[in-house]
Every structure is written in C-alpha cells, then in structure tokens.
Amino acid sequence: MTDPIDIVIYHNPACGTSRNTLAMIRNAGIEPHVVEYLKTPPSPRLLEQLVARMGIPLRALVREKGTPYEELGLGDPALTDGQILDAMMQHPILINRPIVVSPLGVKLCRPSEVVLEILPQEQKGAFAKEDGQIVVDASGRRV
C-alpha cells in the first residue's frame, strides 16, 4: 500500500480551468483536498506564502476578468503589495485560480495542464478538457 499524496487545490467550481485541473489531478489517481477559496479564502499570510513558493509577484496572481479589478484601481503601479493583498482578502474573486500545492511545488495552473508538471503520479489514462482538447493520450502521456 502506498502512502497518500497530499495535494491541495484552491478551486472555483464555476471556472472551467479549475474544473479541468481538478479532473487531471483525479486522473492521476489522487483525491486532493479541495478548498473552495471563494467560501474559505486563504489567510493573507498563507496567500503570501503561496505566492513566494510559486516564485511570482503578487500582482501576477490578481485576476482581472470578471472581478472588481478596474473599479478598485488595482492596475495602479503605485499600489503596494499590502494594498493589493488587502483587496484580495476583501474580494477573494480577485485571487486567480486554480492554485495547486503538491509535494513537487506550487503552481497557478493556467492553463490547466500546468498541473501535470507538479503531480507526483502519472496520468492513469486519456484526458480531454471540457472543450474537447486532448491533453493526455490513452497511455497517460501528455500530448
């Protein structure tokens, strides 16, 4: 028997990219911890840690589409990371998704197949995204 693999996905079930990412994790035979971050957002400290582990600037994690990004003036380069983080805490929809945490790293999985880079197990079979795009062939290899 193998030890369980601890994978966390910060997920929005209304997002196709997030659903595809979750499905690829499951296609590897892993049942992740699913955090619906709009209902249970990460703390400011945890979000800062995730960003640091991804090796990206905080601004790279801010979602613009379908959010109050423009109304809040978040494109202003004079805003500090603290101000951006405060906005993300007040409006979790501003946190881009899905974020996946695995033993092999942390990634913002956009596009969804980025998750394949940090899964510790191979895909168990073919996988096609919701739009029909084939990502993994029948032998479990990335296309």
Nearest to 37 by CA among 84, 127, 101: 101
| From 9, 15, 85, 87, the catalytic residue | 15
Residues constituting the chain = 143
CB atoms < 10 A from the CB of 130, how many? 11
Burial (Cβ within 10 Å: 0-12, 13-18, ≥19) of residue 79: middle
The answer to whether the Cα torsion of 33, 37, 43, 44 is positive or negative is positive
7 close to 33: Cβ distance less than 8 angstroms: yes
Cα–Cα dist 95/117, whole Å: 21
Known catalytic membership, residue 15: yes
Catalytic residue numbers read: 15
